Structure 1
């Protein structure tokens, strides 16, 4: 009886159109009783995808015949149209290629995961490379970052989709699900409405969670791409600048006008501050000396530009040479050079002018407005060097003297003191009286001030700043070393020493003589520079009528509203002289211009390099890339963790089921596997089903979905009846 029941059940099963899948693996020892229950001890229903199941030892899906097999071929084929294959179309099956095998293996999930990790690292290193750099072609860099982020997201999602499918098949083989829940398990990654299945979440929360990640994965692109932004700011960096120059007047000490002095590796000669006379045609002649005659035209041209300009001058592209393209910078240099040390001697209601250097002023307060009618009065030539030292001919060679020549010939006896008195007003733009009538308006309009300046050698500390392609400077420290010629001019007495220079100063032993060649040549350079300033400011301005013979009128020292001196004239004079000194950088052929990295080397017109680097601070104002690496790495870390969990679950699902190839979800695979086999809803979508394996004819292993209603039995067309045949749901095999 039992044998007949088993045979009847097998006939109904195979002939009634169940969802059966053929398996050519070895016969299983599992048998089913008439109620469909497994006879294997200790198992209510053994999943075909567990290690203890015979299916674990069967061949993988690619080796399974997806067509229906039957114990009675003649009955199974009843009513079917049999198509005989054409002899010309029969071909031997080609073995799958290496790439096809690899792409369908479980290792493809790992490969996709590795590609995602590589893309994430590439994204990080790209943004790390851009961080802090100027935002040039920013749109293309941001697009590249978005593309890499998309590639990383796509690789992670692809790995997760493969893992999700394998894990879902594993789950439906382990426990029973309603048809609706099965739809949710497989469809949640593609249809967001399937995410709301309570049963699927309760029984397979991990599979559903992996599906949620698929839908949330666009956030990876959004958040990771937003980690690189462009901000506007000013940045500072302490670095080395290649073309920083300084001044070294000691180069004049070794300069001989008879020879062309060219810096190493260059073609243009260095330019001196001075022009020279000589006592004999040959340097080897008795009594030979070279002595100063006047300022060189090259330096004079620089001084004139400053005297009648508004600021120190700079050479073209100096900021680019020093700072580099797109940068501003600043640097500090030190050098020893000339300067004026000034002292105020009288102001306002003072009745007399104080002594300066042991001498009284060459004018009185009664000459300066409001007591007098001079608004500007400067004496800057007392004791000045006489360019005609002796009766000489060509090149300054004496015409009526024989060696030995006068001892003081060509000596710098003193440096003239600048004595300057002027009338100061409160507001230069207001109208002021121009007639000294003794009225209160006249007396209240002007305040008389007097100061004097001595020529000194100073140690300068200067901060050079290059901003927007323009050069500016600030003298941050002045150390006054000593007077350039440490003597005091004797007013009212002439020298009688055999020269045409009548200047007398004491003590005479402090004169700077031509025989002291290094000191004399450096002093000559200082004297040339100071003379340009003194020649400018010497003279006076009278009112009414602004009568003057001074060169100072067109200079920055005089305001153009009423030709009155500018406020704080003492500071303006000192600043003017310092502008002349700094303007030497505008013509690097001047012999004093040297590299700040090594002042013993003249710079000439060369552009600096690594060997001339000097410390500087560079600043750049603009748009810069800003990389928030913590955010990007956090996004990818979470993504990698979720994807890794998914891949591990999918990998283990395949491993436990003994599969080498993934179950496919492609249309062709589904069409071939179903082969017109349909599954009908008996009641509704809550019908409980499970994916199980049974024994087929000839020991063949078959797979089918079965309904659970307290026991297991096959779903067949005869069970459902004709009225339910219109309700169909395909079962897809992977």
Structure 2
């Protein structure tokens, strides 16, 4: 009994640890794993049931020693763990409640297997692993500093591309020491990439990047760091008739080029962006030859090709008042359509901010999920202005060039003779120019200010839904400041979409340009990688830490449900064993069972012979009775105890001559009808009782 209980508990614990070892693991060999779990569940059920069955048997003998029951009730009692109908015997349940509960436990024990089988499930779950991924790239604009467009570097037969185009003062047949190159405009390849990103409204993804980096069937993410420009924005004013502050820069202070009176409700614009103040002039000299070489003889003007200042983004925009902005689809806002409406002056809130182009330290997380790219700039640390000057409008340069931009201090101009600094600044300027060109302009109502519907747009910003809310009459989004910064971030990250750009490098080796291939395995015409050979140690040096993930079927272990079932089952089994132990103690420590020999030994009472146990006239089996005990006999009450031998071949003192040849007889225990046996309710042990007649 005790060993069976321990075996059942051990199987339950093993079941837990087995399922626990499978938790969150890929769901492989599902049928095999489930079968092992079912075997342990059957073992737990078998052990606990066996312990209770042994306890039940001890309780049965204790019960029949203490009370008389009908033959039918005794039939039900002795067969309660084998015949399900026996458990429903009303008299048996009333006369042997504890034994009936133990039998009920045995019949309900299979529920352990049923209920615990549902504790290990197969569910879809995101599986993550830390890996080293190939093909991860980042940006390093120091390669713009050293780029020589006359002898461009080549990787795998493809030329590296700078972000900028150049003019020169050098004569084709002469090599004078005072010649230099100067900036012209953003490279057309970069303009195409930035424009595509603008229309996609996200960073341009490198072709086949998810497959190359994550591998087939996987998504992945990784974090890169690099230095690039970023726009640092400052709020200057908000509200009708509010004071608009000047923008304070490291090099000085500058007033906005417009005031908020141009915005609704006083003005006619809902969006007003001025981004060209101090813009680098593509016409540096009025008279130039091929390649932008000035026709004049050296020395050239000191500020020819100089980056004098980086244009500031000045942006005024209008949002709806709080009561209108909080309206929803079921309660649409009632926006006044013309200035004649009394609510016109209180329905619109003008705002203004300015953004400076700063060299910044980026931390970016790039995610490839299901062949789609998403980017998240997690941190931007502003380092220094791209050009540390303050634009001074309405002041003529008069410096011999066609660029009439002036700024202070002039000592901070970036001159083309400072080649590394100048070329990096040119790359930053090209990046900023593409953003400024996209957002410059206005959106507003007509000059007559009669109707707010169908606004008039004079800006490329209308081409995308990044900044203007198409569903709200083209009003700017309230978070337009952050949206502009995100727009710029996507332009910069779009450079990664074409590894042919000179500033694209390996993330694992930022000092090495990447080109468009990985490990010298070129893309075929279908855009798929040829099957590469195993990576060499040199190739492994280009692997970069990443997190790979995918949705996969994994095992999920519900330990709580498992132990709810097992704790109830074990607790009831322990209670049953305690009952069995107490019954065993009352039985004198002798383990009783219901074997055939035990039943025969308990049915030696001579009084049982006076009853006809079958329906046959000669003790045979009749066709009606089918060998069963007649119903009238089943109603007789019987019990187990000391057989009364008075007048039945005994000595009148409980001793019965059983033919042992000793002549003295001995005390006999057995079943008998009520009145034929004496039941001893509080006997120390049956072993002691058997010695009474000796």
TM-score (normalizing by structure 2): 0.58
Shift of residue 711, structure 1, vs aligned partner: 4.7
Shift of residue 384, structure 1, vs aligned partner: 1.9
The structure with the largest alpha-carbon Rg is 1
Shift of residue 496, structure 1, vs aligned partner: 5.4
Residue of structure 2 in register with 1:457 after alignment: 359
Shift of residue 304, structure 1, vs aligned partner: 2.5
Q: Distance in 2 between matches of 1:598 and 1:563?
A: 49
Shift of residue 631, structure 1, vs aligned partner: 3.4
Q: Secondary structure at the match of 2:278?
A: coil
- Listed as ranges, the matches of 1:179-578 within 5 Å are 187-190=79-82, 191-192=86-87, 214-222=106-114, 224-225=116-117, 227=119, 248-253=139-144, 256=147, 258-260=151-153, 272-277=162-167, 286-287=177-178, 289-308=180-199, 337-344=229-236, 348-349=240-241, 354=246, 357-362=252-257, 377-389=272-284, 396=291, 398=293, 400=295, 407-421=302-316, 426=321, 430=335, 432-433=337-338, 450-459=352-361, 479-495=381-397, 499-540=401-442, 543-544=446-447, 549-556=458-465, 557-558=467-468, 560=470, 565-566=475-476, 568=478, 571=481, 574-575=484-485, 577-578=487-488
Q: Distance in 1 between matches of 2:90 and 2:498?
A: 78
Contact 1:242 1:612 survives alignment (8 Å): yes
Q: Distance in 2 between matches of 1:379 and 1:217?
A: 81
User: In terms of mean alpha carbon deviation, does 524-533 or 486-495 score higher?
Assistant: 486-495
Q: Distance in 2 between matches of 1:184 and 1:368?
A: 96
Shift of residue 690, structure 1, vs aligned partner: 9.3
Contact 1:456 1:481 survives alignment (8 Å): yes
Contact 2:357 2:432 survives alignment (8 Å): yes
Residues 247-271 of structure 1: CA distance to partner in whole angstroms, max 9, x if unpaired? 6444544663644465xxx998876
Residues 252-310 of structure 1: CA distance to partner in whole angstroms, max 9, x if unpaired? 44663644465xxx998876433344555799984564543322344333433454565
Contact 2:507 2:544 survives alignment (8 Å): yes
Shift of residue 528, structure 1, vs aligned partner: 1.1
Q: Secondary structure at the match of 1:457?
A: strand
How many residues are aligned here?
572
Contact 1:278 1:290 survives alignment (8 Å): yes
Q: Distance in 2 between matches of 1:223 and 1:287?
A: 89
Contact 2:273 2:315 survives alignment (8 Å): yes
- Listed as ranges, the matches of 1:634-673 within 5 Å are 634=567, 638=571
Contact 1:380 1:417 survives alignment (8 Å): yes
Residues 439-462 of structure 1: CA distance to partner in whole angstroms, max 9, x if unpaired? 988877777655443322334566
2:497 alignment partner, one of 584, 587, 607:
587
Shift of residue 566, structure 1, vs aligned partner: 1.8
Q: Does residue 626 of the first structure (1) align with residue 558 of the second (2)?
A: yes
User: In terms of mean alpha carbon deviation, does 621-630 or 109-118 score higher?
Assistant: 109-118
**How has the CA–CA distance of structure 1 residues 648 and 587 changed in structure 2, closer, same or farther, with 3 Å as cutoff?**
farther
Q: What runs of 5+ residues in structure 2 fail to find an aligned partner?
A: 325-332, 449-454, 520-539, 583-588, 612-635, 644-648, 660-694
Residue of structure 2 in register with 1:106 after alignment: none
Higher RCO (Cα < 8 Å, 6 or more apart): 1
Q: Distance in 2 between matches of 1:325 and 1:308?
A: 29
Q: Distance in 2 between matches of 1:229 and 1:549?
A: 60
Q: Distance in 2 between matches of 1:188 and 1:439?
A: 91
Contact 1:238 1:617 survives alignment (8 Å): yes
Q: Distance in 2 between matches of 1:208 and 1:441?
A: 84
Contact 1:178 1:689 survives alignment (8 Å): no
Residue of structure 1 in register with 2:15 after alignment: 123
Q: Distance in 1 between matches of 2:456 and 2:100?
A: 100
Q: Distance in 2 between matches of 1:439 and 1:213?
A: 82
Shift of residue 518, structure 1, vs aligned partner: 3.9
Q: Distance in 2 between matches of 1:402 and 1:219?
A: 101
Q: Distance in 1 between matches of 2:9 and 2:244?
A: 89
**How has the CA–CA distance of structure 1 residues 605 and 341 changed in structure 2, closer, same or farther, with 3 Å as cutoff?**
farther
Contact 1:239 1:617 survives alignment (8 Å): yes
Contact 1:369 1:446 survives alignment (8 Å): yes
Q: Distance in 2 between matches of 1:284 and 1:225?
A: 86
Q: What runs of 5+ residues in structure 1 fail to find an aligned partner?
A: 1-108, 650-655, 692-705, 717-734
**How has the CA–CA distance of structure 1 residues 378 and 336 changed in structure 2, closer, same or farther, with 3 Å as cutoff?**
closer
Residues 519-542 of structure 1: CA distance to partner in whole angstroms, max 9, x if unpaired? 333322221111012222334457
Residue of structure 2 in register with 1:149 after alignment: 41
Q: Does residue 686 of the first structure (1) align with residue 638 of the second (2)?
A: yes
